[in-house]
Amino acid sequence: MNPVNRRRFLQLVGMGALGTAGVTALASCGGGSGGTAIRYAWWGDSNRQQKYTAALDAFVAQNPGIEVRPEFADYDAFQERITVQTAGRDVPDVFWIPSPQVMSYHEAGLYRRLDDIPSLDLSAFSPTLIDSYRIDGELNTLPRSVLTAAVRYNQTFLDEAGAQLPADGAWTWDGLSEFLIEYTRTASGGRKGIHYNAQADLCFEAWLRQHGQDLWTADGRMGFEVDALAGWFEWWEVLRRAGAATNLSEQEGAQPEWPVVGDKVLMTFGNSNHIADEAPMFPDYEFGLRPMPVLADAAAGHRFGYLSRLAVYQGIDDDKLEAAGRLVHFNINDPAILGIVGLSVGAPANPQMLQAAYAVANEDEKKMLAVVEQEMAEEQKPRYEAPPGSGTWRTIMTRGVEEVALERSSVADAAARVVADIERELGRAS
């Protein structure tokens, strides 16, 4: 790997002070003292930990002689630990990649080329798809799943109100805003149209791309202007001022937990896969899922999917490559894993796996699969990953959301400050 000292990598990922909170030590999965041991790192909650541990046990049973040593943590602790491991050149053999760190890890030299590993079968992916996964022309990461921005709504609440969502032709930002205000005016039980969720990054990105802008550019800069961010903030403020969106006090902060708001609102913006974990929290309600509303004059190719990636470590021993390839193959190609871990991480990126997923998906997961298929079937212009040093941009964004929603700053001033702060962080990294 490229030489990276600890200070430089901290600068790249923008993590600040390190800690190990949330890290879970797990026993090895299968194998014995004579097997090939592969370290595998991922993140999530305790439910995901249990499911993936069971999946790794199944993998080991199918692959005698391979031992998997899991390294599990919650999302933030996972990133902190990788930072420390990078400084010590002790990175796991196979690992998931957090969305803000794709290019930071690339610049730090963590990724190994994947298309020369014989045990990793890529035949299910078209050459066009493979090319879309490359970073700087090299296939050094692969997506384990695809996520899209989505609107989740409570069908039970709609039925109770005798209401229907705007039809496709009226599924615009203005049309949705008007609908949410009217729903709130007549809804029972003090329910509101939507919770204030302006920090939802994929949804903000959908807004930008429809306006002909991007979150990031090919050369690693911000791809949007202050006016575009201000327009996003103002869309939310219209709803808040009309009482159609919960205020930050009602939802206990700018980033509320779903159990806090799930029975207070008709709708939420978020990632398509969130329905898999969050709908079961309210089993008495039926939820639906739709793509984001669309501007009447939306820019061509605005649709997009976010690739949730995994990688093999550049410094892996050569004698572990076959085993690592088999483990990656199991994650992205083997339908057996879907029946064990479910679909909380998103729709499979492998087209064959995506179709196989319908056989094991529950009703909520099938809605997620359908929305992802619908989005990915549309024309898409290129999408670029977050550049090195941008790891704190979502924290900066949330701070701006709070300033606006708490009326501590005007929309225009908050948007200008968010853009300036992100540019400053990128400048420090470069």
The total of other beta-carbon atoms located within 10 Å of residue 171's CB is 17
- Using CA atoms, how far residue 413 sits from 65, 398, 407, in Å, is 60, 15, 11
pLDDT bracket for residue 188 (50, 70, 90): confident
pLDDT bracket for residue 4 (50, 70, 90): very low
Q: What pLDDT was estimated at residue 20?
A: 42
Strand partners, 154: 287
| 146 three-class SS | strand
Please work out, in degrees rounded to the nearest 5, the angle formed at the alpha carbon of residue 141 by the alpha carbons of 147 and 113. 170
Taking the domain 6-147+307-366, which CATH number applies? Answer: 3.40.190.10
- Using CA atoms, how far residue 388 sits from 9, 63, 85, 430, in Å, is 10, 37, 18, 8
pLDDT bracket for residue 126 (50, 70, 90): very high
Interval 130-154 mean pLDDT: 96
Give the CATH fold of the 149-303+389-429 domain: D-Maltodextrin-Binding Protein; domain 2 (3.40.190)
List the domain boundaries for the chain. 6-147+307-366, 149-303+389-429
User: Whole-angstrom Cα distance, residue 204 to residue 393?
Assistant: 13
Q: What pLDDT was estimated at residue 389?
A: 86
Q: Would the pLDDT of 19 be above 50?
A: no
Per cent of the chain over pLDDT 70 is 92
Q: What pLDDT was estimated at residue 37?
A: 97
Q: What is the pLDDT of residues 232-282, one digit of tens each?
A: 999 999 999 999 999 999 999 999 899 999 999 999 999 999 999 999 999
With 0-12 CB in 10 A as exposed, 13-18 as middle and 19+ as buried, what is 169? exposed
User: Whole-angstrom Cα distance, residue 175 to residue 198?
Assistant: 18
Q: Would the pLDDT of 392 be above 60?
A: yes
Per the listing, tokens 């790249």 go with 12
Q: What pLDDT was estimated at residue 430?
A: 66
Q: What is the pLDDT of residues 274-312, one digit of tens each?
A: 999 999 999 999 999 999 999 999 999 999 999 999 999
216: left (phi over 0), alpha (psi -120 to 50) or beta: beta
pLDDT bracket for residue 34 (50, 70, 90): low
Interval 69-89 mean pLDDT: 94
- CB neighbour list of residue 422: distance below 8 Å, 6 or more residues apart: 222, 390, 393, 396
User: Whole-angstrom Cα distance, residue 106 to residue 306?
Assistant: 17
CA nearest 355: which of 340, 331, 372, 341? 372
Interval 164-183 mean pLDDT: 96
User: Whole-angstrom Cα distance, residue 60 to residue 55?
Assistant: 9
pLDDT bracket for residue 12 (50, 70, 90): very low
Q: What pLDDT was estimated at residue 9?
A: 47
| 379 three-class SS | coil
Q: Would the pLDDT of 13 be above 90?
A: no
CA nearest 269: which of 152, 183, 180? 152
Q: What is the pLDDT of residues 337-374, one digit of tens each?
A: 999 999 999 999 999 999 999 999 999 999 999 999 99
Q: Is 149-303+389-429 in the same CATH topology as 6-147+307-366?
A: yes
Q: Tell me, rounded to whole angstroms, the distance of Cα 16 from its chain centroid.
A: 22
Q: What pLDDT was estimated at residue 29?
A: 76
